[in-house]
């Protein structure tokens, strides 16, 4: 049993430190998702199929989390429907009160944590040593926050180290990278499709979450009481439990942030190749594979340390140079491209107007 000095800082202050840490990382997660959505919106006119695909992933995650909420509350699932623009789950039994509130909580918070939590389970088999729970020496607000930050730093260091040295000749590593990109591209829906629906952005998410929490203040007080009771028990039994629990939530948010950040180069490459003439657009993507394979083959005969990371650098710089050269010498006619995009916007506007009149 741990001996902890009983003062205001240890009884109250230290309890809030990990919560504030998780909230900060979750807010960062929302910001990076919002940036990604803006990048996707700029690709819509030229890559609508790709944008619809990412939207479908996001709606699928959201609908699955909603269904999981009904499963946890034992409401049952009568119907489950997912399309590119829409997701809906009907329960067998309509619950009220706290059970209904829990089911809607899964819908609001689930997409931010549940899919990332599943990816985190895969990461455990990749960087098992990165999962470290650090116990504060003195259980104060600062020490508790430091322990939380140290746990996340250890995880981030191992995770980023794995990505920097990833072996693209290893099928497991390639599969994991695709899972990470798949999750990162569809972490939240943006409703890009044939039908224009309510825009899902940072303000939309925060507003719905705020309304959900304010609607039932007594439930929030009950959750705070449960968390604080768990904190007091862990304080005297094993202080690592409390910080460790919130460290897991921090790892989940960090996994989501890294997954979203990994999609940025992919989206930038897709957007950049739009500046290149049609017959040359595939060259940068081919360069990615060819340059990496040639680099690995070269290092078989001239072995060096950190072959994987050096090969990745060669792949990135080769693709960057080829893309710049193609943009310079094989550039599209911007006037034609702009005219085409303007024509598409006008056509979409006419279709929506005609549909409204028909309705």
- DSSP secondary structure string for all residues of 282-346: THHHHHHHHHHHHHHHHHHHS--SSHHHHHHHHHHHHHHHHHHHHHHHSB--HHHHHHHHHHHHH
Angle of CA points 339, 344, 350, to nearest 5°: 125
User: Residue 1's pLDDT is what?
Assistant: 45
Q: State percent of the chain over pLDDT 90.
A: 17
Q: At 88, phi and psi to the nearest 5?
A: -150, 140
pLDDT band of residue 125 (cuts 50, 70, 90) is confident
**How far from the centroid of its chain's Cα atoms is residue 309's Cα?**
24
Could you report the per-residue pLDDT of 290-325, keeping only the tens digit for each? 999 999 999 888 888 888 899 999 999 999 999 888
**How far from the centroid of its chain's Cα atoms is residue 51's Cα?**
16
User: Residue 191's pLDDT is what?
Assistant: 65
User: Residue 358's pLDDT is what?
Assistant: 47
Asked if residue 193 has pLDDT above 60, the reply is no
Q: H or E stretch including 91?
A: strand 87-91
User: Residue 2's pLDDT is what?
Assistant: 47
* Other CB atoms within 10 Å distance of the CB of residue 5: 10
Could you report the per-residue pLDDT of 57-67, keeping only the tens digit for each? 988 888 898 89
Asked if residue 110 has pLDDT above 60, the reply is yes
Could you report the per-residue pLDDT of 264-289, keeping only the tens digit for each? 999 999 988 888 887 888 899 999 99
3-state secondary structure of 2: coil
Which of 100-104, 197-201, 280-284, 307-311 is predicted least confidently?
197-201
User: Residue 336's pLDDT is what?
Assistant: 47
User: Residue 5's pLDDT is what?
Assistant: 55
Contact (Cβ atoms closer than 8 angstroms) between residue 83 and residue 97: no
Could you report the per-residue pLDDT of 147-160, keeping only the tens digit for each? 788 888 888 989 99
pLDDT band of residue 356 (cuts 50, 70, 90) is very low
Asked if residue 83 has pLDDT above 90, the reply is no
Report, in this order, helix, strand and coil percent for the chain, each rounded to 5. Answer: 75, 5, 20
Which of 187-196, 210-219, 230-239, 261-270 is predicted least confidently?
187-196
Whole-angstrom distance, CA of residue 38 vs CA of residue 14: 38
Contact (Cβ atoms closer than 8 angstroms) between residue 135 and residue 240: yes
Check: pTM over 0.85? Answer yes or no: no
Q: Of the ranges 8-17, 28-37, 199-208, which is most confident?
A: 28-37
Whole-angstrom distance, CA of residue 15 vs CA of residue 1: 18
Contact (Cβ atoms closer than 8 angstroms) between residue 108 and residue 132: no
What are the Cα distances from residue 43, in Å, to 40, 46, 52, 174, 222? 5, 6, 11, 26, 45
Whole-angstrom distance, CA of residue 132 vs CA of residue 127: 11
Q: Alpha helix (H) ranges present in 136-216?
A: 141-164, 171-185, 202-215
Could you report the per-residue pLDDT of 241-264, keeping only the tens digit for each? 888 888 899 999 999 999 999 999
Whole-angstrom distance, CA of residue 347 vs CA of residue 108: 35
Mean residue pLDDT across the chain: 81
pLDDT band of residue 335 (cuts 50, 70, 90) is very low
């Amino acid at each position: 049993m741990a001996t902890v000095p009983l003062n205001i800082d240890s009884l109250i202050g230290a309890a809030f430190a990990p919560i504030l840490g998780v909230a900060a990382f979750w807010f960062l997660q929302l910001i990076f998702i919002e940036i990604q959505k803006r990048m996707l919106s700029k690709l819509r006119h030229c890559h609508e199929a790709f944008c619809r695909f990412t939207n479908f992933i996001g709606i699928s995650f959201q609908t699955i989390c909603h269904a999981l909420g009904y499963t946890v509350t034992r409401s049952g699932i009568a119907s489950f429907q997912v399309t590119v623009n829409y997701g809906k789950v009907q329960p067998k039994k309509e619950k009220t009160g706290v059970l209904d509130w829990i089911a809607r909580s899964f819908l609001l918070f689930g997409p931010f944590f549940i899919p990332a939590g599943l990816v985190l389970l895969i990461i455990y088999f990749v960087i098992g040593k990165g999962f470290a729970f650090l116990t504060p020496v003195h259980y104060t607000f600062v020490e508790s926050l430091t322990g939380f930050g140290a746990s996340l730093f250890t995880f981030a260091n191992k995770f980023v180290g794995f990505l920097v040295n990833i072996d693209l000749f290893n099928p497991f590593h390639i599969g994991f990278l695709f899972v990470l990109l798949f999750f990162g591209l569809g972490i939240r829906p943006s409703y890009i499709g044939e039908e224009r629906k309510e825009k899902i952005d940072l303000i939309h998410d925060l507003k719905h979450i705020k309304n959900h929490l304010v609607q039932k203040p007594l439930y929030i007080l009950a959750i705070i009481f449960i968390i604080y009771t768990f904190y007091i028990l862990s304080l005297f039994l094993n202080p690592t439990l409390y910080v460790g629990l919130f460290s897991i939530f921090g790892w989940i948010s960090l996994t989501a942030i890294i997954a979203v950040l990994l999609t940025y180069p992919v989206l930038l490459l897709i957007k950049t190749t739009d500046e290149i003439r049609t017959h040359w657009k595939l060259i940068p993507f081919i360069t990615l594979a060819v340059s990496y394979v040639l680099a690995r083959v070269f290092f078989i005969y001239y072995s060096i340390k950190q072959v994987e990371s050096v090969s990745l650098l060669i792949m990135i710089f080769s693709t960057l140079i080829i893309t710049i050269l193609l943009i310079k010498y094989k550039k599209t006619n911007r006037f034609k491209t702009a005219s085409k995009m303007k024509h598409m916007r006008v056509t979409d506007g006419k279709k929506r107007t005609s549909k409204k009149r028909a309705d």
